[in-house]
């Protein structure tokens, strides 16, 4: 799997969605790719903060996209 594929599926991995084989392959990539591992760390950090701030609220629609967009800026810039 390449970084683009990981980027599309990283939320699945974080939430543990999808089949086990796919999640294993994503994890294998994260183990060897610092770029994607950093992205995973940023996302899990943001999600943890959101959960602390709004424990009873569901994640709003469109949030994943906004988070991913801000990460792209953080990583590329
Ligand atoms: Zn990667």
The rounded Å distance from CA 31 to ligand 1 centre is 9
Report the candidate in 53, 55, 23 with the shortest Cα–Cα distance to residue 40: 23
The rounded Å distance from CA 28 to ligand 1 centre is 10
Please state the φ and ψ torsions of residue 54, each to the nearest 5 degrees: -135, 70
Q: Are 36 and 29 in contact (CB under 8 A)?
A: yes
Q: Which residues surround ligand 1, an ion (CB under 5 A)?
A: 3, 33, 35-36
67: Cα within 13 Å, side-chain hemisphere: 22
Residue 37 has pLDDT above 80, yes or no: yes
Confidence label for 15 from pLDDT (cuts 50, 70 and 90) = confident
Confidence label for 31 from pLDDT (cuts 50, 70 and 90) = very high
């Amino acid at each position: 799997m390449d970084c683009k594929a990981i980027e599309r599926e990283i939320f699945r991995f974080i939430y543990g969605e999808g089949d086990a084989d796919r999640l294993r392959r994503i994890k294998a990539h994260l183990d060897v790719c610092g770029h994607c591992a950093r992205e995973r760390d940023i996302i899990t950090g943001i999600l943890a903060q959101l959960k602390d701030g709004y424990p009873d609220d569901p994640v709003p629609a469109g949030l994943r996209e906004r988070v991913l967009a801000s990460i792209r800026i953080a990583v590329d810039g």
